[in-house]
Amino acid sequence: MPRLKRALSGVDPNSESNIPVPQESSSKKRKATVTRGAMETSSSNSAASNALSNGRDEINAAALKFIAVPRPIWDIDAEARDNEDHQSDSRDVGDTEESETLRDQGKSVTDLESPEWPWIMSSLALDKYHELEKQAENRDQELHGVYMYNDFTAYGINEVIENQLKDFNKEVSRRVISPYAVWAQLEALSWFLQLDYIDIWFQGDDCHGFAETIALIGKALLTGLNILKTNQLFKPYHPEEGGGIRDIPIVLALFVRFARSWTPDILHSN
């Protein structure tokens, strides 16, 4: 005898059903997870690639603007000493006045290729150079008419240089390194190392500590040159190519001049 079918009206829609709910297979789940993960990874890589591309575009757009500057006082003095010309009045103009007029005297120069203005530096480096000089003046006890102890100013100059090296390290530690910003740090440092404050620094009593700072200066220079080479900027400047760095020979010569100031006298004769 056939079984009677249960009336539809007697079915409670809220009651639990014995009919099993179809489940996705584990292989399909894994496939969906892998696909979703691949899409997220692809999206992340694409975002990172776009960020790096934008960073490179910003670097190229931030190429240095170079300006002509007057011949530094310390170079005029060096020539006077070499010529045994002790009648020079160049010392009447202090380093502070010189730094304040570097930019103003170079504003009227429109042709940076003019042989009458061989001294060139970037505008960004000039700002940093002024900042370094001001920081040194803030630590000059004689300038402020006070006396702490003999080597107070020497330690102050060492602090200024160490702070500059820290700023340099920040630039080379960025995810996207700007070779122009790195070079501006080295430019400013190379000019600062020509001031009379460096003689005071060398006379300090912490010769071993100062020697370590000098070694760091050399490492910073080599690091900067390597970054320029990586970005195909360590090469002679050609105006027709556009962009590039104009003052690499000047900056390298300034670092060599600094090195010769603390080497034995026998190297000076060579």
pLDDT at position 6 is 52
- pLDDT averaged over the chain? 77
How far is it, in rounded angstroms, from Cα 206 to Cα 214?
12
How far is it, in rounded angstroms, from Cα 206 to Cα 192?
20
How far is it, in rounded angstroms, from Cα 189 to Cα 133?
10
DSSP string covering 234-252, please? -S---GGG-SS-S-HHHHH
What is the enclosing helix (H) or strand (E) of 120? strand 120-122
- 70 with 106: CB under 8 angstroms? yes
pLDDT at position 241 is 73
Paired strand residues for 122: 66
pLDDT at position 118 is 85
pLDDT at position 179 is 97
Which residues of the chain fall short of a pLDDT of 50? 8-9, 11, 13, 17, 19, 34, 48, 51-52, 88, 90-96, 99-100, 265-270
| Neighbour-count burial for 251-268, b at 16+ CB within 10 Å, e otherwise | beebbeebeeeeeeeeee
| Whole-structure pTM value | 0.69
pLDDT at position 183 is 98
